[in-house]
Amino acid sequence: MTTLVSQVKKSLFLRLFLIFGFTVVSFFIIVSVLLRNINQETNTIESIPDFFTRNVESIIEDIGTPPNLSNAMRLADELGWTINIRNPIMRWSSDPDNRLNVDESEFDRSLSSDAEVRTVNNEGIIHVNRRGYEFFLYPRAQGGEERINLFVVYVGVALAVLVLFLNYLMVNRLLQPVRMLRQGADRIQKGDLGYRVESNSQDELGELTESINHMADSLQSMLEAKRQLLLAISHELRTPITKAKLRMEFMPPSKEREQLREDIEEIELLISDLIEAERLNDEHAVLVEETVVLSDFVEGVASQFSEYEGGLTLEIEESEREFVIDKLRIRLLITNLLNNACRHGESNPITVKLEFVDDMAIMEVIDKGEGIAAEHLPKLSEPFYRADSARQRNTGGFGLGLYLCRLIVQAHGGDLTIESELGEGTHITVTLPPHPPHHGG
């Protein structure tokens, strides 16, 4: 017995089979009981001869001819039968509301010289013709049998619904790990590699859960190894770059020296962006939190681009509301967004908006430049992704700017959305809460 229970726990398919078998057996029992009760007849044609030989003669004698209707009513109540009496001048019934129409009865067989069995609606009745009177006798229970059977049908339907509901509950509970697996896969797909699916199942779904958790462990280990390698290489590159910058200072002024300076500064900027991106990509990224009047801060950073040839418009809501932010990183966020707008704005006007809705700050950077094709929008904030792979570095950057922006916004508990259309320009919206999610206050 213990072995069987263990096998059931370890096999999802066996449990599904048992649920299916339980449902089939339950429905078979319910249908069998229904059919037996619906087809059951209290007044069968075969049972009438024995009843007649024992009772009908005495019943007719007690009623008498001419009939004593009081005796007929008394006998009908005592026996639970319906008695109809007829002759050319009278039609009497102990149960006027009875559903059987004896006039539609058909001959089945004779019982005696003045008695016979007739049938109506497949039910037997006794017909006696004596001294000018016709007597029709049949159990009154026939009229109530349909109601009894109808009650049985209702009970059967209710039981069937109950079985189906229990079936649903069992299957729903059985498939609960599937929903947990889907939720876990969604969270892992969105980058939450630290999430693990919890399951106590010992069956195939339990094994699948362990496989997914193991896969997440492997992914997390590989990405952490990649991150550590990238940080190590970035740090190590700073030493030869510093040496190169020092040696460059001893070179005589020339065009080549300036080009070399630009290349070294570009590499240094790339390394700084990589290090900053990896720091922010850490689940426990540390922010240097400071309280600032956000409208003043945004206006101060954005005003540095006032010399942009296409014109910069600031639409900043005047407010003394204070936000807790990492000033250095939010400055980098605003600078990157405006650099992108200036680079691709094609000398068209740029608008910077800031407004406060409920507790949130909403900052928008809008340009009327070249715009971006719709198929590139979902990938714009991925590292090293550039919508135009043919761009030069001095026009297209490394593809880290928007990636850094997204990480900065997420570290502050906010949201960044990009809307763009070719030839119409780009609209970037940043939503920031009053303080980062792990803020101690």
Note down pLDDT in tens along the chain; length 441 residues: 566 556 555 666 666 777 777 788 787 787 777 766 655 544 444 455 565 556 777 888 888 888 998 988 988 888 878 889 998 888 888 888 776 788 888 888 887 788 888 888 777 788 888 888 999 888 765 444 444 556 767 777 788 888 888 887 877 777 777 778 878 778 777 667 777 877 777 667 777 788 888 887 887 777 777 667 666 776 677 778 788 878 887 888 888 888 888 778 777 777 777 667 666 766 555 678 889 999 999 999 898 888 888 889 999 988 888 999 988 889 888 988 998 888 888 788 999 999 999 889 999 999 988 888 888 887 777 666 666 544 444 444 556 778 888 888 988 889 999 998 888 899 999 999 999 887 554
User: To which residue do tokens 């300076």 refer?
Assistant: 261
CB 100 within 8 A of CB 91: no
Confidence at residue 210, expressed as pLDDT on a 0 to 100 scale: 81
Amino acid letter at 334? I
Confidence at residue 315, expressed as pLDDT on a 0 to 100 scale: 92
Confidence at residue 385, expressed as pLDDT on a 0 to 100 scale: 62
Confidence at residue 13, expressed as pLDDT on a 0 to 100 scale: 66
**Phi, psi torsion values for 435, nearest 5 degrees:** -155, 160
Confidence at residue 141, expressed as pLDDT on a 0 to 100 scale: 53
User: Which of 71, 47, 202 has the alpha carbon at shortest distance from 135?
Assistant: 71
**Phi, psi torsion values for 415, nearest 5 degrees:** -145, 140
| SS3 state of residue 369 | coil
Q: How many whole angstroms separate alpha carbon 419 and alpha carbon 430?
A: 12
User: To which residue do tokens 């209702």 refer?
Assistant: 154
User: To which residue do tokens 């094709």 refer?
Assistant: 373
Confidence at residue 142, expressed as pLDDT on a 0 to 100 scale: 47
Helix, strand, coil share of the chain (percent; to 5): 55, 20, 25
DSSP at 362: E
What's the whole-model pTM score? 0.47
Q: How many whole angstroms separate alpha carbon 342 and alpha carbon 309?
A: 9
Confidence at residue 414, expressed as pLDDT on a 0 to 100 scale: 92
Distance of CA 149 to the CA centre of its chain: 42
